Structure 1
């Protein structure tokens, strides 16, 4: 570290002390003597909490009237009020607001290579706070103007100087500039209030504070009071600085004994293990303190478990704007509204905001004034329709708000939510109109009207108060502070994350059975606080101290690095700071000294992914110290094996534990079979079960893999979001081909031929445009529309047209005697049975010739059409096996075969001669499947099925199974499969398919519990 510039030893002294938290008698005597000699003495401490502790100690010693106890920032502000030029010291919030406004006035070229983002605003604010005199007011320091060392520095200097001009125009001054001006005044006049300054426990002194302290040291005396853990701070001073032992060297009260250590294997056991350890510490009413880096998080998890054990607890809640529901919802809505406004009605930019999950989250929030049912309905409506525009979304929000408002007006006004306004649309509308204050006022009105239970059943009143306070504070910031500073609200909004509100949370227990030391009925209360707060407790003031989460993430050893530190060192204004290890050592020693009998350090050894979480340095130091003294370290290890105790708030108390053996995951119980497989309740008579109608695709899914069928058809883990994938593209192709052949038939064109090919292609292009427009409006008979949300997706839609043109060209030379006769032919309601069960669904297309022979055609928007090729199973394979010898033989794809057989049984009584799959994707469309042998292509262009060389039977290779026999064989085998389904067989297929990789990982493993 750099040594600070040399200071006269007569003005600066280092006093070594043995203090912990409270002022020692020697320190009080030093301050008393200084106050008597100088007329006034000042003691600088790091926080207002420590200020109060020191003031109390001085008052008890009857020397409080001559000593000012304050923080460095408040000290500078107080001196400036006495000796300044009338300007007011700027607050941190005002600084951020002005810098944000400054950045908003610059275009990208003016601040390049920097970028206008919250990180840059924060950095410029920090540099302006610490280094404004060096950059923009060098005359105050008696120096020439600093030259930047590069383009980035030049931009930073320009911004800081512009910020200084903004301060001057508003009668404001930075504390760093005020300190620099005061340094000159103090050095000249040496007022009584700045003749003696003592610094105690301050871990970091910025450069401008040290500048003022140097000036005080030149005219009077500055005393650094350092306890044993803080003495490394003296190494940053000049070696000539005098060091004086303030007391007799005897250490003051420290924790007597060895700390205990608690290691928890993982986060699932953390809450239960901590609660159990704290309950043991509380015992019959002991006073216990929990110290943590994030006490609110520990309190949230542990306090309900303590309450279940009859122990109350409390914690000071300090919530930032972004940690409150008001802040989270305001930020999320502002972001999504900005993206929606930028996208406008352009469908190709909808991907930047759709499906707007922020809006669904907003409706789920109590602050919207809506109910969860409305939120679910809204979420489903938005996510299932890709064609919605921002305007349509706003109309939908307004509709839900109006419905809720009307419903509450008609309801009993004594109900808790009757007076709660619904503002889900109003808040979004206000943000759309750039009226953030109105949006916050609407949220505040809802937070005020809501019952406390809306924010939680344990501490709903506290949380409600926090939300109301935060909304009110944000409104004041935007409406008053921004107006006073003449800053636009758009800039003021960006600094709301700096707002904080505080409250005290308490978790009560009504069934406490313990008694205190004196036999009273006072309930023990575990107090949760930060480590710094625990370090301010008087030595031996509590029975036990429990330090939670002692790992490197919560207590790191990290120095401040980055542009600010580099620039401060370059300009000679680097802060004097205590190294992190010494700071932690000091805090831990003082916090543990507060314990009379027990000190426990606890940590979690692994995270949720079972990765190691390493102990903090103080854990390692304290365990090493115990071993060095020749004593055994007391370490308690807790695993994650007790699932009930870990998950239940009351640790399983009052619960009966019973081990149950689960059914095999691929078997259904008798009571479930009749409801989950082939039967369903009669819509007209729910007490009666009727056969469930199955489509060909569902039957094919079951015979391929029963478990996959059960997941996709019964469990149905489907996504709510409308997609843009193969399914939607396939629907689009179906719609185009259906409309093309429908319109050709209506115009008297029975089929595509080589002679009318060009006219049919022209018709295809018109139909394609019409279907595109319909899908863009979500108007389609298919299950999901194809709606492009970006230029890339729009290109993918356009690429479908040439593929369909190739399909139409293929049709011109295929199945010459046949013409499309039945399009999207539905079996629903026809009473057709297949395999002894009612059949539903529809087939894409049935082509019929003049003799009543039919070809079933199923469109498949995929390129690998050969996957649908079907060979005669009576033909021996290369290894000599004959597939048909297996009584359970089934082709991989049976959908078109099922419908071909169904056509034979239907009222149409068609003579099915083929079951084909028509590939429509790529530049080489083709038909593959099973056809009667007379329709196999013999030579190219013969009007049969191009490229299909084998049929039924495949006599050329010794096959004997005709097409009719194939249909009968498949139906018989499927009938046996469906019998197994009716018996509850939903086992996984022996050979997993592509779908199995998705469905089989959804928790289907047998586990006893």
Structure 2
């Protein structure tokens, strides 16, 4: 029989019925029978376990250069060995006694290497063991071998055929039968995955109340653990105990995940996420607060090295070093005892959780021990663990479980008719596909003359038929009508065959022409549930959603009276004092004018990313520093202003300045907006920026003839904050140019410009969006007593662009790339525009300090870089 559960069920059933088979037959599995025969007639080698075989295949692949050493290739070699190793046909091919295509050569080489590796460890493949036994006459008296619930393997069939005293009989062709007499058959159709859990809970309660409690109910699912976790709390609350029986991937256990994360840390160049994942694991012994603090520390510095992360991990977690040892060598698994002691001593965990972690630890030890025996590497160990399933079980509730959740194969091994009800879940064609395998292993077996006719349809029929025979009272077949992509699902092939047994005419397509693909005899008992009841489906409960907290709805539009003192924080003075009156920067004011809520989220809530950036902000800071340094050197070494004839000298200085600045960036504090490339693409972006700054000098040589730069990064400090719009203004002005008549132009550098920077739109209406340069222009007039004739934005990007606001006294031809009509203020002197802007700003700041922070984007572009992606007023 296919598994030990089926063996035990068969024995119990035979004993209850006083069947002669209780005494006259040996009921076993192929693997157990092989062990019994090999113990007596074998050659002294031990039969290799699954992990030993996988390790042998991986090691063989390392010695076969024509094949990739991957899990997929190892699995294919496993199928090849299962299908023919030990047979006369495949042995002839391995010994070169038959002519095959040259492409099969690497596969045969890998099999030869695999067997040699096992032999070196005194192990033998199960297929080879069957082959050895088949060459010996072991059975002298007549014996009938019946294969039930499975298809006999080629190795088992060959062995039985080789023994003259054995008569081998199978079950015949796999076939689906109607449900046993007296068993009610129904179909359940949740509209989608969200409705499924509550539908199943309701259905299980109904089945248990209607008589299925005698024997309980088996729920067979594609992913039984996920299903158990979704229904168990609700059922346990209703005094229905639920049990889960099955396996969990090694990588899904906390121990397995911790081990794999430490391995990833050792093999990967990008380790921050892996380090944080390990620290959040219970095996790290570190609090979640400490783990998140580590994450913020590492992400805030793009130059944080892998070595620095590992050193900090060692200091934080005493477990980390043990895990480092465990992944270093198969011999280090002896240290796992320390981890085991911690698992056993851990408090606040369930017995099932502890057992699961200990099982994962035991599996790792076993595979490491096998690796030592086969002289395999740790890489081979982890490859063998990749698809391993750790035995796992869970029970929710205090009494004996009335509901057992498992996969369909495990359910198929149970005793027929021993349960009150059965629910077969996920019965879709996608969950149970019938893809016949066709690969190099199947082709090689076919080429040497071995039958590879194992049918996935026959296997699916066998499992489904066994599951259908389990209930004594009720069978329910469940299928979501829509999948996770809201696409229509289709019934599994075995369900279609089962339904055909109940049709009046299987050739009449109209008989099942409905959304359920069912004949009329089932339509009156269909169980459905939609996804529209969001809370009930999510909570797996029919109760009303309880209020966990009752509070007034917060307002996005206004800051409450009690919080107003915290809206604008005070500024610290150089002498340690505090400037208590509200103080703003021009960029801060511009942000508020764009959208009050954007200002609040960016400037007050500081919804910034944890990671140190490499984007427009960092590029802009680099460019500003470079342009300031350039002109300071150029004025000192060459001339007050870049002109056409001085371009070669200017380019040489800019090249040196940007190169020096780029070299300095790594030494700066990460809290600064430094530009630090860590990838080749980013290095190219920095080189491109440096080239653009050199190219910008062409525009600079034609910009404002008659003017010359006089101030760079002109700072308005907190201690010297200027009065503006009724409040204090601070900030840094990129550049101020002057002519001999005392006229001044405020220049603000930008990486790129859009129409938003123009003073007027295409219809001649004032845009009023970008006001930073205008605000600083007014401040300069007050601080330096200059006559400002321009407040412009100059792009150092790929295109020569200038925008902003200029006085009629400033000629547009001296501003290359400017749109004269859109940027010239013709209603009077530029000071009138500056005064009007100040009045508008005063009104806005009054609103700000009154707590007005409503989401009110001035235009759709205002929302472009806003972090509040769920804002109800978001545009564009």
Normalising by structure 1, what TM-score? 0.76
Shift of 1:303: 0.4
Residues 437-452 of structure 1: pairs in structure 2 closer than 5 A:
437=333, 444=340, 446-452=342-348
Q: Deviations over 1:589-636 (max 9, x none)?
A: 443433333322222222333222333234444555555486342112
Counterpart Cα distance in 1 of 2:781 and 2:322: 60
SS of the counterpart of 1:270? helix
Cα distance in 2, alignment partners of residues 748 and 439 from structure 1:
70
Q: Deviations over 1:716-741 (max 9, x none)?
A: 55433333333332222122223334
Q: What is the match of residue 423 of structure 1?
A: 319
Aligned to 2:171: 225
1:553 aligns with 2:421: no
Matched, 1:389 2:342: no
Alignment-derived partner of residue 494 in structure 1: 383
- The structural deviation recorded for 1:895 is 1.8
**How far is the alpha carbon of 1:683 from its aligned partner?**
9.3
**What's the offset of the Cα at 1:195?**
3.2
Residue equivalent to 1:817: 707
Between 1:756-765 and 1:484-493, the stretch displaced more is 756-765
1:904 corresponding residue in structure 2: 781
Superposed CA offset, 1:20-59 (max 9, x none): xxxxxxxxxxxxxxxxxxxxxxxxx111111112233445
Distance change >3 Å, CA 473–CA 623, structure 1 → 2: closer
**Is 1:645 equivalent to 2:543 in the alignment?**
no
Q: Is the 8 A contact 1:308 1:650 kept in 2?
A: no
Aligned to 1:183: 134
Q: Which residue of 2 aligns with 1:635?
A: 526
Q: How does 1:469-868 map to 2 (within 5 A)?
A: 469-478=359-368, 480-508=369-397, 525-575=402-452, 577=454, 579-626=455-502, 628=504, 631-633=521-523, 634-648=525-539, 650-652=541-543, 655=546, 668=556, 670=558, 672=560, 675=563, 679-680=567-568, 693-706=583-596, 708-713=598-603, 717-742=607-632, 751-752=641-642, 758-779=648-669, 782-783=672-673, 785-815=674-704, 816-823=706-713, 825-848=715-738, 853-862=743-752, 864=753, 868=757
Contact 1:818-1:848 within 8 A present in 2 as well = yes
Equivalent in the alignment of 2:115: 164
Q: How far did 1:224 drift?
A: 1.9
Q: Are 1:321 and 1:498, in contact at CA under 8 Å, matched by a contact in 2? A: yes
Counterpart of 2:797 in structure 1 is: 921
Conserved 8 A contact 1:197-1:221: yes
Match of 2:280 in 1: 364
Shifted more, 701-710 versus 540-549: the winner is: 701-710
RMSD of Structure 2 on Structure 1 (CA): 3.9
1:121 alignment counterpart: 74
Q: How far apart are 1:302 and its partner, in Å?
A: 0.7
Q: Secondary structure at the match of 2:491?
A: coil
Is the contact between residue 250 and residue 386 of structure 2 (CA under 8 Å) also seen in structure 1? yes
Change (3 A) 1:659 1:620: farther
Q: Which residue of 1 aligns with 2:155?
A: 208
CA distance 1:718–1:135, shift in 2 (3 Å): farther
Shift of 1:429: 7.6
1:8-407 equivalences under 5 Å are 45-59=1-15, 60-61=18-19, 63-106=21-64, 110-111=65-66, 114-133=67-86, 138=91, 145-151=97-103, 153-186=104-137, 190-192=139-141, 195-202=143-150, 204-216=151-163, 218-226=164-172, 230=174, 254-283=180-209, 287-340=216-269, 353=270, 356-401=272-317
Which whole-Å CA distance do the structure 1 matches of 2:356 and 2:191 have between them? 35
CA distance in structure 2 between the aligned counterparts of 1:498 and 1:150, rounded to whole angstroms: 31
Q: Distance in 2 between matches of 1:321 and 1:994?
A: 49
CA distance in 1: counterparts of 2:804 and 2:596, whole angstroms? 23
**Match for residue 345 of structure 1?**
none
8 A Cα contact 2:359 2:391, kept in partner? no
**Per-residue deviation at 1:474?**
0.8
8 Å CA contact 1:674, 1:680 repeated in 2 = no
* 1:96–1:949 CA distance, 2 compared to 1 (3 A): closer
**Distance in 1 between the 2:390 and 2:24 partners?**
34
Aligned residues: 847
Q: Distance in 2 between matches of 1:1005 and 1:540?
A: 62
- CA deviation profile, 1:237-264 (whole Å, cap 9, x unmatched): xxxxxxxxxxxxxx99915243122211
In the alignment, the residues of structure 2 paired with residue 759 and residue 299 of structure 1 have an alpha-carbon distance, to the nearest angstrom, of: 75
Q: Matched residues in 2 for 1:668 and 1:631: separation?
A: 57
- Contact 2:245/2:392, CA 8 A, preserved across alignment: yes
Provide the TM-score with structure 2 as the length reference. 0.86
Deviation at 1:79, TM superposition (A): 1.9
Give per-residue Cα distances to partners, 1:512-541, cap 9 Å, x unaligned. Answer: xxxxxxxxxx66632212223333444443
Classify the secondary structure of the residue corresponding to 1:205: coil
Cα separation, 1, equivalents of 2:182 and 2:161: 40
Specify the alignment match of 1:992 in structure 2. 860
CA contact (8 A) 2:4 2:28 kept: yes
**2:815 pairs with 1:945:** yes
Cα pair distance change 1:173/1:589, threshold 3 Å:
closer
Give the Cα separation in 2 of the matches to 1:775 and 1:374. Answer: 29
Q: Structure 1's 795 and 140: CA in aligned 2 closer, same or farther, altered over 3 A? A: closer
Change (3 A) 1:534 1:120: closer
User: Is the Cα–Cα contact under 8 Å of residues 933 and 950 in structure 1 kept in the other structure?
Assistant: no
Write out per-residue CA displacement over residues 158-198 of structure 1, whole angstroms, 9 at most, x where no aligned residue: 11112222233332222222222322213xx5334x73211
Tell me the distance in 1 between the aligned counterparts of 2:158 and 2:220: 35
Post-superposition Cα deviations, 1:451-499, rounded to whole Å, max 9, x if no partner, equal 344xxxxxx4322321233123313421x22222232334333212354
Aligned-pair CA distance for 1:304:
0.9
Equivalent residues of 1:136, 1:161 under 8 A apart: no
Distance 1:434 1:860 in 2: 58
Deviations 1:328-376 (A, max 9, x none): 3323432342133xxxxxxxxxxxx26x312211111112221111211
Q: Residues 220 and 476 from structure 1, CA distance in 2 versus in 1: closer, same or farther, beyond 3 angstroms? A: closer
CA positional deviation for 1:673: 7.6
Relative distance call for 1:191 and 1:720 in structure 2 (3 A) is: farther
Give the equivalent residue in structure 2 for 1:970. 837
Residues 483 and 426 (structure 1), Cα distance of their counterparts in 2 relative to 1, 3 Å cut: closer
Contact 2:855 2:871 in 1 (8 A): no
The one of 354, 357, 366 aligned to 1:464: 354
Q: Aligned in 2, Cα 1:770/1:1000: closer, same or farther, shift over 3 Å?
A: same
Describe the SS at the equivalent of 2:809. helix
Deviation at 1:782, TM superposition (A): 4.2
Q: How far apart, in 2, do the equivalents of 1:474 and 1:658 lie?
A: 46
Q: CA deviation at 1:668?
A: 2.8
Q: Which runs of 5+ in 1 are unaligned?
A: 1-44, 233-250, 341-352, 402-421, 454-459, 510-521, 884-888, 939-943
| Contact in 2 for aligned 1:368/1:446 (Cα 8 Å) | no
Does the C-alpha gap of structure 1 residues 432 and 763 become closer, same or farther in structure 2, counting only changes over 3 Å? Answer: farther
Contact 1:890 1:970 survives alignment (8 Å): no
CA distance change for structure 1 residues 377 and 836 in 2, over 3 Å: closer, same or farther? same
